[in-house]
Structure 1
């Protein structure tokens, strides 16, 4: 089956065997296709069996770069086309335009999106379903009516409580602390925030949450916020980075202020960007899961869904392991803590 690629103002950035990247002139998103049969000169490609669109909150940050690697690897292993496309800023409006373009200009079987907003995406996702495209969410959910199931990395209560614990352990269970989150509307971040605060209220009465700042998953904005937090709260004892750009920014700000070891930095980040900071004491404990495995799992379950196969509890997914189900939520596994002692054992 031959299909037209986007009939948009796109230009070819580079071509490698089995992989291509495209971008609009406005540089709002990139598209990656994996399929050895692609014909880039004619801007057409042949559908193998299924085509899956993976849409992150934002591109070009380490966390989602690792997801992309796993998704492309799964595409090759499982014999499906993978489109990886996302905005350069974490905004729902940009995701909506991308999804609308996919519906109008490509022939895809499944859309899998990490939602920047749980409600704003619903109309375009419902449009996809009306056009015969199956929809799932991963990393960050929409309201249930927008998708068939949600792939979560870990149990949100477990993660939120654990993040608060890691800060408390690192800050002596007392003092002021701040949280650097990503987009204010992201459902997963807000769920973790809820459990962080519940854990503080239940177990750490001597710790005071003084600020929650939204970075919009922008590394530069996160860095500026971290520097300002150190100015605004001179008695600050800790920072939790609730999205992956937070901990590197906070650790850099703490290091530059000469407060390594005085202000604890914990949170969610891949280990590679935090390696130096963990070793020099600018950060204490970093928590995550394998984002590459998350990308692989998302493609694997999307292919199954295209075949009308839904995930089930204790399902063994090759390349991932056993998954758990909580109603219509897939739980990939448990969080991993990275410290100066073990960070060199991981590479992502």
Structure 2
């Protein structure tokens, strides 16, 4: 069980340009206690003379999932005595992420860790950063390999994709019509999960029928609107699977308001704080995730080791996280965790 460590924070929003298309820089100032996301105190590494600066770039600052990840990153930064700059666009937008990276290049950070909104479009600016001597890794969502050194992943993509479809199939009695709400058709991690969701259905659930796959752009309001349209367009819909954090709560809200709680099953990736009430009232059945705080913590720890010449190793134990797996240039943090009405109150993130 992962208990959220008490955190007080304030978000300072600075517009870097008065033009509407410009990226925005956000800085988080945290007052946190010293334990890691599992309640353990990570051992401090020897600090270099020059204070390290790491830029942590989310898909979008307005997404709760990434703000939880930032809390874990700030904990790791505090324990290591390094500066963490949490900077990104307000919503999931690759062009605004490019502007964010340009800003971090100007700040001469030592390393950029980015959750990419587009695996291809971001490569040139990340290569520019590397040419300037800035190291680059990805976390949560990858780019093409030439854009970074390694990728910090939450779970094995095949394991997660197949597991998500299993949770939906079990909730639906392994038959009926379902739709998928994805965050973006450009995000590499979401597309990989989609691939394995479809493979799992084809191999094991012939009586399930996928009727639509729609994008939410990782926006809470759009997720709700998309879910309402799905319910209107497909009156015989039996299930909705969301594979990004805004999808399941948007779907559950729409299902509840349509008076279809329990009739249209809702499962997918989201954090327990967003899904708690929907799980308890029956407008959602299962939420799946991992600890985003732990992912942010792990990303900074691995980034720090990399800056000190140490690459991740399969089976390596990371203080405050546990043993990681390494598959080629991908680090795998752990296994997916399911939240239901029976256990969701044990978690707070």
How does the TM-score come out when normalised to structure 2? 0.89
Distance 1:321 1:213, change over 3 A: same
C-alpha displacement at 1:34, in angstroms? 6.1
User: Which residue of structure 2 lines up, in the alignment, with residue 90 of structure 1?
Assistant: 92
Runs (5+) with no aligned partner, structure 1: 1-16, 37-46
Per-residue CA deviation, residues 131-163 of structure 1 (Å, 9 max, x unaligned), is 000000000000011100000000000000000
User: Which residue of structure 2 lines up, in the alignment, with residue 161 of structure 1?
Assistant: 162
User: Which residue of structure 1 lines up, in the alignment, with residue 185 of structure 2?
Assistant: 184
Per-residue CA deviation, residues 172-223 of structure 1 (Å, 9 max, x unaligned), is 1111100000011000000000000000000111111000001000100000
Distance 1:34 1:309, change over 3 A: farther
Runs (5+) with no aligned partner, structure 2: 1-7, 32-48
Preserved contact between residue 30 and residue 74 of structure 2 (Cα < 8 Å)? no
User: Matches of 1:57 and 1:331 in 2, distance apart?
Assistant: 19
Preserved contact between residue 112 and residue 137 of structure 1 (Cα < 8 Å)? yes
User: Matches of 2:29 and 2:284 in 1, distance apart?
Assistant: 37
Distance 1:157 1:346, change over 3 A: same
User: Which residue of structure 2 lines up, in the alignment, with residue 4 of structure 1?
Assistant: none
Distance 1:341 1:33, change over 3 A: closer
How does the TM-score come out when normalised to structure 1? 0.89
User: Which residue of structure 1 lines up, in the alignment, with residue 153 of structure 2?
Assistant: 152
Higher relative contact order (CA 8 A, sep 6+): 2
Query: SS where residue 247 of structure 1 aligns?
Result: helix
* Bigger shift: residues 55-64 or 330-339: 55-64
Distance 1:125 1:173, change over 3 A: same
Per-residue CA deviation, residues 242-299 of structure 1 (Å, 9 max, x unaligned), is 1000000000000001110001000000001100000110000110000000000111
C-alpha displacement at 1:167, in angstroms? 0.2
Distance 1:310 1:236, change over 3 A: same
Tell me how many residue pairs correspond in the alignment: 322
Preserved contact between residue 32 and residue 82 of structure 1 (Cα < 8 Å)? no
User: Which residue of structure 2 lines up, in the alignment, with residue 215 of structure 1?
Assistant: 216
RMSD between aligned residues: 1.9
Matched, 1:30 2:45: no
